[in-house]
Amino acid sequence: MDIASNEFDPTRISLPGTPNVMVVADEWFSAHGGISTLNRHLCGGLATTGASVSCLVLSASPTEHDDAARRGVRLIEARPMVGAPALVALMQKPELPAGVVPDVIIGHGRVTGVAAKFLAENHFPGAARLHFVHVAPDEVEWLRVDRADDAGERAAQRVAVDLELGRTATRVVAVGPSLHRRLERDLHDLVDVAPPLRFDPGFDGVDDGPRRPAPGGPQQVLVLGRMEDTEIKGVDLAAAITARTVDLLGRDSNDVELLVRGAPPGDCARLRDRLRAHAADPALHVTVRPFTTDDGTLQQDLARAHLVLMPSRAEGFGLAGAEAIASGVPTLVSDRSGLGRLLRETLPPDAAARVVVPVTLDETRDVTRWATHAAAILRHPDAAFTDAHAVRQAAARKSTWANATAQLLRAVLEPTPSTVD
């Protein structure tokens, strides 16, 4: 799902020369979640700076090639390696247009960071390499309760991989303020490693003024994202919050619906039963739909929503919440997310207090606090949508994809390091 216009904006931001940037990704559309969504915005933002942008992917459909081209991005498909892991295909020297040699290579975490490192060291040794960090394993792995291996060992291994990839990169790039703070701490004692850069995703897009709440009913509370890790996303909290909200409003359960978009294939019914049980209200109207990458479907979800909840127990950033805010829908965001920290930096204190809500891990306390905020929004939807538009405008004035990517390139191509914020 995209918060920026799908049409390539020819506006250029002045940079020295015309750098060639190659971003390494496993996909273009977001079959696997938020990293791919951020990658599309990143590539499009880089193109608006005047850079020549190529994105190396495992494979791409004609529709994906067209989508990338509209953003000013060239998709390059990796050469297939029969019988080899996908990562190996991304390590092969790509077939770039004649005369195109990357000045900058970008990898994303453990997903493509290894491939980006191999390409930079073995095929394009003159290129700067940026290593993007999207998650904090020490926060999220403890909440993955369905894994058979030890959470602490898993987290330690994943942190070590990110730090090693970052140690050997030209610069480490943290997505959002929370990950940036963590990496400032973790990298400070490594010899000859520059401080991490900070990359704040943008809130910009087409602004047609305040949206109106959808007519009819029931009022819809929306939770977006891949739902394999329901503890991390706080989806169980969202169910309890919605049930408590109905109580506070003094309404029938059929007057408010919780829509969860992002269930794994074949898991909708099981997740629905689990959420209704957690809400302790068998009459709660819960709809669970499968994960989708179709932008039109996701935009319809947002157009129908009266409120978006992001009660994450841990979240490196929280791009789905940022997209909801950029769409002008009333949104409540966990203070345990990078997005929550960014909004507290960006918005006036009173506005931030209406959007960013604490998650203390004391469920009774959290459900009551979040339901109080949610009931205030659903009780006065017209005012809530007006306020949501003001929040969107304030956030977009501070954080745009074009500015973030321009600062990123300046930090790499100019001699004096700077923070990307």
Q: Provide the domain count of the chain.
A: 2
Q: What is the dihedral of CA 259, 260, 261, 267, to 10 degrees?
A: -130
The answer to whether residue 15 sits within a structural domain is no
Q: Where are the beta strands (DSSP E) in 134-279?
A: 171-175, 197-199, 219-224, 256-263
The answer to whether residue 10 sits within a structural domain is no
Q: Does 277 lie in the same domain as 128? A: no
Q: Does 159 lie in the same domain as 255? A: no
- pTM comes to 0.90
Q: Could you list the residue range(s) of the whole structural domain that residue 78 is in? A: 20-202+400-413
The answer to whether residue 130 sits within a structural domain is yes
Q: Does 277 lie in the same domain as 293? A: yes
Exposed, middle or buried by CB within 10 Å (0-12, 13-18, 19+), for 3? buried
Q: Does 237 lie in the same domain as 367? A: yes
The answer to whether residue 8 sits within a structural domain is no
Q: Does 363 lie in the same domain as 310? A: yes
The answer to whether residue 155 sits within a structural domain is yes
Instruction: Please report how many Cα atoms fall inside a 13 Å half-sphere around the Cα of residue 157, on the Cβ side.
Output: 7
Q: Does 129 lie in the same domain as 26? A: yes
CATH number at residue 151: 3.40.50.2000
The answer to whether residue 83 sits within a structural domain is yes
Q: What is the pLDDT of residue 16?
A: 55
Q: Does 183 lie in the same domain as 154? A: yes
The answer to whether residue 3 sits within a structural domain is no
Q: Does 391 lie in the same domain as 248? A: yes
Q: What is the pLDDT of residue 202?
A: 94
Q: Does 66 lie in the same domain as 33? A: yes
Q: How far is CA 413 from CA 51, 61, 103, 386, in A?
A: 12, 33, 9, 41
Instruction: Please report how many Cα atoms fall inside a 13 Å half-sphere around the Cα of residue 115, on the Cβ side.
Output: 27
The answer to whether residue 421 sits within a structural domain is no
Q: Does 111 lie in the same domain as 63? A: yes
Residue 172 near residue 131, CB atoms below 8 Å: yes
Q: Does 301 lie in the same domain as 257? A: yes
Closest CA to 44 of 413, 411, 408, 401: 401
Q: What is the pLDDT of residue 11?
A: 41
Q: Does 272 lie in the same domain as 197? A: no
User: Which residues in the chain show pLDDT less than 70?
Assistant: 1-17, 32-33, 206, 415-421
